[in-house]
Structure 1
Amino acid sequence: MRWLRTTAAAGTILLAAAGVVSCSQFPASQACFPPPFSLSQDTASAGGSLSISAEDATCDPRYGDGAQIQVEVMDASGATIVTELAPMNDAGGFSIMLDLPATAVPGPGMVSAYPHNLDWCDDTGRNNRVGLAAGTGIERVSCVMPSAPLTITPKL
C-alpha cells in the first residue's frame, strides 16, 4: 500500500511538472496578446475629447466577427469616468473617439483598453481563446491590464 501511495504521489508530481510551460514552446500564432493601443494625446482637458486606437496585431488573435474593445478612463481621483465599447476587427485593430466629462478630476489618470468579454490571455503567453470549444466557460487569469497614462487638465 505504501508503494502505491508513493508511486501515485510521484506520478502526480511528474504530471504537474509536465504542465509547466513557457512562452517559447508555442508558435507565434498562439502566443498572441491584444495589440498595443495608443492615445491621440497624453493630455486632455476635462470636457475635451480623446482618440484611442490600435493597429492590427502581427499575430493571429482570432477575435472573430462582432468582437469589441472595452475602453475605460480613470481620472485623478481613481474613479472610472468613461466606459465605452467599440467594434474591434478580427486582428484586434480599433479606433474610438471619447468625450471626457467636464466633472473629471484633473491630474494623473489612466486609459485601459482590452477585448470585451473574452479570455484573451494567460500566464503561459497563449491566447486562451484559440482552440476553445463552443460553450466552454471563460476563466479570467492573472494578467497585466493594458493601460496608458493620461493627464487630465482643468476644463478650458
Structure 2
Amino acid sequence: MSQPCLPPPFSVSATTATAGATVTVAASDATCNPRYGKTAQVQVTLRDSNGVEIVKELAPMNDQGGFSVELHIPAAAAPGPAAVEAYPYNLDWCDDTGRNNRVGRSATAPAIERVSCAPSVQKFLIEP
C-alpha cells in the first residue's frame, strides 16, 4: 500500500477573463495515492485584485484528487490580477516537510489550520 501524498496541481482555464465570465478550475488525478474517499470535496476560492474573496465554492473531488469546477466571476469583481486557491476541504493540509498531515474530521476534532505551508495559488487577470 502506498503512502498518502499531497494534492495534485490544479489549473485555471484562462489567463484573462472579464467580470461576468466563467472560468474552469481543474486538477487531474494525482500520480500517487491520496485516498481522499468517495465524499471528498475541494474548496476553491477566488480573490480579486483588491484581495477580496469574491467566490468561495465547494465542489466534488474524486479519491485521487481530480476535480473540475466552474467559477462565475461576479460583475463587481475589481479588475486586475486575481488569484485562485484550491485545496482538499476538511481533509488535510501540509507542512514544510511535504508530509500529508491527514486528520479525521469529526464533531470533536479540532479545526484544521494551515501550518506554515504556502497555499497552492494560480493567478490570472480580470479585465475591465
Same fold, judged at TM 0.5 (above): yes
Structure 2 residue runs without a partner (length 5+): none
Q: Name the TM-score, length of structure 1 as normaliser.
A: 0.73
Does the alignment pair 1:148 with 2:122? yes
Letter in 2 for 1:112: E
Task: Please tell me whether Structure 1 or Structure 2 has the larger radius of gyration of its CA atoms.
Answer: 1
1:10-50 CA-partner distances (Å, limit 9, x unpaired): xxxxxxxxxxxxxxxxxx734x2110001111111001110
Letter in 1 for 2:17: A
Q: CA deviation at 1:60?
A: 0.9
Distance in 2, matches of 1:122 and 1:137, equals 17
SS where residue 96 of structure 1 aligns? strand
Alignment coverage as a number of residue pairs: 125
Distance in 2, matches of 1:35 and 1:134, equals 21
Distance in 1, matches of 2:18 and 2:112, equals 37
Q: Identity across aligned pairs (percent)? A: 55
Letter in 2 for 1:50: V
Tell me how large the CA RMSD over aligned residues is.
Answer: 2.0
Distance in 1, matches of 2:111 and 2:79, equals 36
Q: CA deviation at 1:125?
A: 1.6
Distance in 2, matches of 1:95 and 1:56, equals 11
Letter in 2 for 1:72: T
Distance in 2, matches of 1:47 and 1:66, equals 30
SS where residue 44 of structure 2 aligns? strand
1:101-128 CA-partner distances (Å, limit 9, x unpaired): 0111000110111111122312322211
Q: Name the TM-score, length of structure 2 as normaliser.
A: 0.88
Question: Which structure 1 residue ranges, 4+ long, deviate > 6 Å from structure 2?
Answer: none
SS where residue 73 of structure 1 aligns? strand
Give the equivalent residue in structure 2 for 1:83: 56
Give the equivalent residue in structure 2 for 1:44: 17
Give the equivalent residue in structure 2 for 1:67: 40
